[in-house]
Chains A and B, each alone.
Chain A
Amino acid sequence: MNFFRARRRQQLIFAACVIVPMLASYALFLVWPVGWAFSISLSDWNLFQNAGNFVGLRNYMRAFRDPIFRISLTNTFYYAILSVPLGLGLAILLGVLIQGAGRFRSLFRVLYFMPVLTSEIATGVLWRWLYQPEYGLFNSILSAINLPRLGWLYSPELAMPSVVAYATWKGIGFTVIIIMAGLDGIDETYYEAARVDGANLWNLFWHITLPLLRPTLTFVLVTGVIGSLQVFGPVYVMTQGPGGPLNRTRTMVLHQYQTAFLSFQWPYGTAIAFISFAIIMALTLAQLRLLRRRWEY
């Protein structure tokens, strides 16, 4: 018995040695800063004086009165509604196609993943020039095929879709890699059995691939929604203002950044951050609840 107690104690000590540093860094770099930020959002704290008075939910109430915040909220959801289905659908299609590419699989995987490796700033600036209405490549192509030029980033209607197009190009490779990993996990015998039963390509995809890919798709969907609701880089680099024209590309995180760091209104900016967090948390929990299901086939 003493031996087993000693061994148990040894195991606990070992576990503690592994877990405690992780918990400590978690507390130091996440819990404490988040808690402190939350306290700032409930005060009129000033960076320069490093002091503030408790003001309750005033900053949160201000957000709901702020028309720019409401616009940024709408824009953020608009971005998510455009980017997530587009990215997911394209990634599934590409994943399935690349899966069947035989010996060129690796080549296509690398090619589609390359934009993921590039700098968001550099590619964002590049795409901004591609979208330039007078001199950009996209409008030059449209003119060459006798189609009307578009405003792209200068058009209130097209600015956000233009940003979505760039973001999809930039991030699709990562999603494709994950989808392909999920596809690799599907046992080939399912397909063989289905073919024996006379299933065509669509049947195989709809009745075998998609259901068995569900855990992967759930992960991609949830992380995709989280990422889209936190969009900042593309809108900051590519749009006028940024956030223009007419605030049509002003997202929640961009509004938070500009409020806190450019307008020096940190408590309000922090309140926006926590409202964003609450929205994202609520949506994530809702998704997990809706999508939860025991995957046994």
Chain B
Amino acid sequence: MSKRSALLPLSILILASMILAMAGCQPTAAPTSVPPTSAPVESEPETEAEPETEAQPETEPEEEAEPEEEAEPEAEAEPEGKFWSEPLELTSDYQGELVLWDWGFEARNNWVQKYIDEWQADHPGVTIRYEIMPESDVGSKLSTAVVAGTGPDFSVLNLEWRTEFQRNGLLEPLPAEFFPEEWRNLLYSTPYARTDDGNIYVTSVGAMGAVMYWDKSIFADAGLTEEDVPETWDELIDLAQELTVWNDDGTLDRAGFGINGMPVWMWFDLVAQKGGHFYDEEVDQALWTETASVEAAQLVKDLYMTYEVTSPDVPWWGELFCNGKAAMGYAYSWFPGWANSNCPDKVVDLGIAPLPTFDNAPAQGLQLEEDFIGVFSYVDPEKKALIWDFLHFLLLEDDERIIELALDFGVPPDRMDLADDPRIMENDLLRVGAEVAPYSVRPGPLPMFGDHHAFLTTAFEEMLLQDASPEQALSSAVDQANLDLEASGKTYISTEYQYTPPE
């Protein structure tokens, strides 16, 4: 049998198998979006109030003013102060295991585990299995496990996954009776966390933003102090040029300002400082070739190629700092925690300051919600009741826990009322974060943090490695982003236009 005639029946067999499999696996029409369900067990507090309202009509015939007096008991019952800190009245008899997923971040993991242990001590018969895995694994494992029905009951989520799960009706909104409006109004993230149905699906424990770091020992060697830390980009350029050291062979010995690994993130902050936007309000078009965006990209490029305070060939700021090879650098507020794990002896030299700004900048930069835990909608109501109880215990019942997490995690709490806590003010990182929070744009889960980040990374590589102009490089990125927005079919909610500079 010749090869040709042997291949033909094989090809037919494969094709036939595919067609048969297709016929057996016809996609069904997409269901309408699954409305989130609320646990019915929370109705007890309402039933307790009912007898009072039922009793009131007995007095009504005596005085016509009674209907107004009917409102008074409710006014008297209005909670005062931090009423939400009262422990919930547990309404679930569930005994067994609850599963919580998270990725490895030591400070947060330790904090969560500590309070899991404490909560479990008060809830005999209920255990929370806290599973920690590498961050790179969580996204794909979580999405497939949730669909397969083998996912956790609740999980720490990041901005991108939260959006996907929310969009597909897989998350349970926070019950207003457990997470009242008064508490939500204290969170910086609340206006930005609402979705188009008005619900909030994921708690936030803080807001992460970019910070400027500086090496105290390098400053001291140069005769500089904290007073010399730059506050504007012009000041930074001058100082960085002074502190940059190049070798005779053309390699960089010490960067004046380390940006590698994060030029795109820095560009986000610069665009916000210039009052620019990333997408139109409907998130149909990317706006990366507008004046503010191009000017911001030009500054990033100039730091490398005009002012030569860094080089594309050196490692990112973190590794430079640990080796004493950068005077200043840009990174997010998780950096001190990273440094503590990777070069603990060097952390003592870590100085922290707000990002420099332009004159009359309307904003300091971006802040991104440090999304915390979301509860999946497929979980049994009995289990949900316990999960709400645990989250309430963790986040609402004792502000000391929030302060503790902020101090360990290095992320300013999402709570406006805790911003001036002395312990926050004493911690440089948290103080800076709390001070800039009102001046920060919170754009929401936009694709520039996810699918489109690769387009922007390539654009900056073109600028830095091929000397492309910002207009040209960003134009290519815009084309790709717009094609993706059109073809992917995904919708996004932008909150970047909600920002208004404080007076």
> Which B residue's beta carbon lies closest to that of A274?
B18
**Chain A 31-72 interface residues, beta-carbon cutoff 8 Å to B:** 31-32, 34-36, 38-40, 42-54, 62, 65-68
Looking at A32, A49, A67, A143, the one whose CB has the most chain B CB atoms below 10 A away is A49
Asked if A35 and B20 sit within 8 Å, CB to CB, the answer is yes
Known: A246-B462, A285-B7. A48 touches B143 (CB 8 A): yes
Residue numbers in B under 8 Å from A135 (CB-CB): 315
A50 with B29, Cβ < 8 A, contacts A39-B22, A262-B139 known: no
Q: Is the CB of B30 within 8 A of A52?
A: yes
**Contact code string B153-174 (vs A, CB < 8 Å = 1, else 0):** 0000000000011011010000
Find out whether the CB atom of B454 lies under 8 angstroms from the CB atom of A154: no
Provided the pairs A48-B146, A68-B480, A264-B143 are in contact, do residues A38 and B450 lie with their beta carbons within 8 angstroms? no
Interface status of B120 (Cβ within 8 A of chain A): no
Contact B22 A247 (CB under 8 A): no
Partner of A134, one of B313, B461, B476, B489: B313
The range of chain B's interface size is 35 or more
B450 engages A263 (CB within 8 Å): yes
B-chain residues with CB within 8 Å of residue A50 when the two chains form the complex: 147
In Å, the complex CA distance between A2 and B489 comes to 68
User: Complex: how many Å from CA A79 to CA B312?
Assistant: 25
| Alpha-carbon distance A252/B120, docked complex (angstroms) | 49
A117 CB to nearest chain B CB (Å): 24
Chain B residues with Cβ below 8 Å from A133 are: 313
Query: Closest Cβ of chain B: how far from A249's Cβ, in Å?
Result: 12
CA distance A31 to B13 in the complex (A): 10
Let me know if A134 and B315 touch, CB within 8 A: yes
User: Inside 8 A of A38's CB, which chain B residues have their CB?
Assistant: 18, 21-22
Q: Count of A residues near B, CB < 8 Å?
A: 54
A68 to B144, CA, bound (A): 26
A275 to chain B, nearest CB (A): 15
Whether B487 sits at the interface, judged by CB under 8 Å, is: yes
User: Is A27 part of the binding interface, using a Cβ–Cβ cutoff of 8 Å?
Assistant: yes
Nearest CB of B to A40, in Å = 8
**A51 near B7 (CB under 8 angstroms)?**
no
- Is B31 on the interface with A (CB-CB < 8 A)? yes
Contact with A along B24-36 (1 / 0, CB 8 A): 1111111100000
B450 nearest in chain A by CB position: A263
B1-56: which have CB < 8 Å to A? Answer: 3, 7, 14, 17-22, 24-31
* Contact across chains for A53 and B29 when beta carbons are under 8 A apart: yes
A127 CB-CB contact with B under 8 Å: no
B169 to chain A, nearest CB (A): 8
Q: Are A34 and B457 in contact, CB atoms less than 8 angstroms apart?
A: no
Please state if B462 and A264 are interface contacts (CB–CB under 8 Å).
no
Decide yes or no whether A211 CB sits under 8 A from chain B: no
- Please, what's the 1-or-0 string for A171-197, where 1 marks a CB less than 8 Å from any CB in chain B? 000000000000000000000000000
Q: Tell me if A215 is interfacial: C-beta within 8 Å of chain B.
A: no
Expressed in whole angstroms, the Cα–Cα distance for A245 and B468 within the complex equals 14
A132 to B260, CA, bound (A): 14
Q: Does B228 contact A (CB under 8 A)?
A: no
Interface contact A66-B27, CB-CB below 8 Å? no
Asked whether, in the complex, the Cβ of B458 is within 8 Å of the Cβ of A247, the reply is yes
Minimal beta-carbon separation of B133 from chain A (angstroms): 16
Whether B164 contacts A48 by the Cβ 8 Å rule is yes
Asked whether B92 is an interface residue with its Cβ less than 8 Å from the other chain, the reply is no
A-chain residues with CB within 8 Å of residue B3 when the two chains form the complex: 288-289, 292
B17, B143, B314: the one contacting A47 at CB < 8 Å is B143
Which of chain B's residues have a CB closer than 8 A to the CB of A67?
476, 479-480
Contacts A31-B17, A44-B489, A49-B168; A241 near B454 (Cβ below 8 A): yes
Q: Interface centre among A35, A46, A241, by most B CB within 10 Å?
A: A35
Q: Which of A243, A261, A292 contacts B454 (CB 8 A)?
A: A243
Which residues from chain B sit less than 8 Å from chain A, CB to CB? 3, 7, 14, 17-22, 24-31, 139-140, 143-144, 146-147, 164-165, 167-168, 170, 249, 251-252, 312-315, 450-451, 454, 457-458, 461-462, 465-466, 476, 479-480, 483, 487-489
Task: Give 5 CB contacts A-B under 8 Å.
Answer: A32-B21, A48-B167, A51-B29, A156-B461, A261-B140
User: Beyond A53-B27, A134-B315: 12 further Cβ-contacts under 8 Å?
Assistant: A31-B21, A36-B25, A48-B147, A51-B30, A51-B31, A66-B483, A67-B476, A67-B479, A132-B315, A155-B465, A245-B465, A268-B488
